[in-house]
């Protein structure tokens, strides 16, 4: 038995066979398992480092794509914000050129920080499915904004251009407030059916009444030619009044004045001082009665007052004008 082991027993003076105990068997087996496990781990680590599976190749390719799309995505989103900023600026410039006032910012809230970076960061932290869904959504939004921008540019290019006659027409529109420096909320009575201050019956009030202290400056609401500049002592009718023909069917009239600074036939510029607020004619208090006549018909002057009035003030004027109260003339 070549595999058997023996030891010399001094007490018996004989060689005796070595018996395998449980503890020695356990130690032996433990050593085998530990050594085998260590060798297995080394082999697995070496295999993982030295070889690459198809799945790993696919994942590495996707990581490279994510890095590439990160740059493209950030650049596209930054480009969108730049385009939107340019559109807002162009809209503001057009508004200022047309109405000679500061353009309205239609954006409710200003963008804080670099939103494109934040969006790209959130997308890139998501899993593959969410990433592709978000990417498709952003591409769709980008294409929609580009189409909208292209259509807007095409519309302005094809339709929003001014000819010489168009510019003259716009200049003829009486867009200013007729009482200079007056509180806009001093509108006492609007256009339409009102109560007459003298006989208390209802009648058509063909203009609007602005209250102001006697001597307050009255200005021309558009350039034109003076067709009437009259001083009347009769305590009835328009009293001292001015009529201006602005051309293109627009005429404005300013009644119950105190002083008249222009003469018949004189040409006046937009914003030029033409008189002062008074209480002449059939008036019960110092105020300016202002009328706009378009193509021979009296129209609501508030329809054309757009300069120096923001949307909130204009809505307040409309609210006051809608009340069927008593006029001042």
Spans of all domains in the chain: 6-50, 54-158, 171-321
Query: Is it the case that residue 283 has pLDDT exceeding 70?
Result: yes
119, exposed or middle or buried, with CB in 10 Å at 0-12, 13-18, 19+? middle
38 vs 91: which has the higher pLDDT: 38
Of the pLDDT bands very low, low, confident and very high (cuts 50, 70, 90), residue 288 is very high
Please compute the mean of the pLDDT values over residues 234-263 and round it to a whole number: 93
User: Is the confidence at residue 254, as pLDDT, over 80?
Assistant: yes
Q: Has residue 172 got a pLDDT over 80?
A: yes
Percent of the chain with pLDDT over 70: 75
In the three-class reduction of DSSP (H, G, I as helix; E, B as strand; rest coil), residue 298 is classed as: strand
pLDDT at 122: 58
pTM above 0.95, yes or no: no
| CB of 239 closer than 8 Å to CB of 286 | no
Range of 3-12, 187-196, 217-226 with top mean pLDDT: 217-226
Cβ-based neighbours of 262, under 8 Å, separated by 6 or more: 226, 229, 242, 268, 274, 275
Helix (H) or strand (E) holding 204: strand 202-205
User: Do residues 104 and 310 touch, judged by C-beta distance below 8 A?
Assistant: yes
Assign domain 171-321 to its CATH architecture: Distorted Sandwich (2.70)
Q: Please state the rounded mean pLDDT for residues 271-300.
A: 94
Tell me how long the chain is. Answer: 329
CA distance 174 to 313: 18
What are the pLDDT digits (tens) for 63-113? 777 776 666 767 777 777 777 777 777 766 665 655 544 544 443 344 444
The chain-wide mean pLDDT, for the chain, equals: 79
Q: List b or e across 187-209, with b for residues whose CB sees 16 or more CB atoms inside 10 angstroms.
A: bbbbbeebeeeeeeeeeebbbbb
- State whether residue 160 is helix, strand or coil: coil
Range in 37-46, 147-156, 275-284 with the lowest mean pLDDT: 147-156
Q: What is the mean pLDDT of residues 257-266?
A: 95
């Amino acid at each position: 038995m070549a595999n058997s082991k023996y030891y010399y027993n001094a007490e018996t003076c004989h060689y005796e066979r070595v018996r395998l105990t449980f503890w020695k068997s356990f130690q032996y087996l433990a050593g085998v398992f530990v050594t085998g496990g260590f060798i297995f781990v080394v082999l697995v680590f070496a295999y993982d480092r030295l070889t690459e599976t198809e799945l790993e190749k696919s994942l590495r390719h996707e990581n490279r794509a994510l890095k590439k799309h990160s740059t493209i995505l950030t650049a596209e989103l930054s480009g969108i914000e730049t385009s939107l900023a340019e559109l807002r600026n162009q809209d503001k410039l057009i508004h200022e050129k047309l109405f000679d006032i500061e353009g309205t910012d239609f954006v409710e809230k200003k963008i804080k920080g670099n939103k494109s970076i934040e969006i790209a960061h959130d997308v890139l932290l998501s899993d593959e499915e969410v990433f592709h869904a978000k990417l498709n959504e952003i591409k769709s939004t980008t294409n929609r904004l580009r189409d909208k921008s292209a259509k807007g540019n095409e519309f302005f290019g094809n339709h929003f251009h001014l000819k010489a006659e168009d510019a003259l027409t716009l200049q003829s529109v009486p867009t200013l407030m007729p009482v200079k420096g007056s509180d806009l909320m001093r509108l006492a009575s609007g256009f339409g059916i009102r109560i007459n201050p003298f006989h208390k019956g209802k009648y058509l009030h063909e203009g609007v009444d602005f209250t102001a202290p006697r001597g307050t400056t009255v200005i021309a609401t558009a350039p034109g030619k003076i067709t009437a500049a009259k001083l009347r002592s009769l305590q009835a009718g328009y009293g001292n009044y001015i009529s201006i023909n602005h051309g293109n069917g627009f005429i404005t009239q300013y009644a119950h004045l105190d002083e008249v600074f222009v003469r018949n036939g004189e040409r006046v510029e937009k914003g030029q001082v033409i008189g002062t607020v008074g209480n002449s004619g059939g008036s019960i208090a110092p105020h300016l009665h202002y009328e706009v006549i378009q193509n021979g018909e009296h129209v609501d002057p508030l329809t054309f007052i757009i300069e120096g009035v923001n949307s909130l003030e204009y809505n307040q004027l409309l609210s006051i004008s809608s009340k069927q109260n008593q006029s001042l003339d």
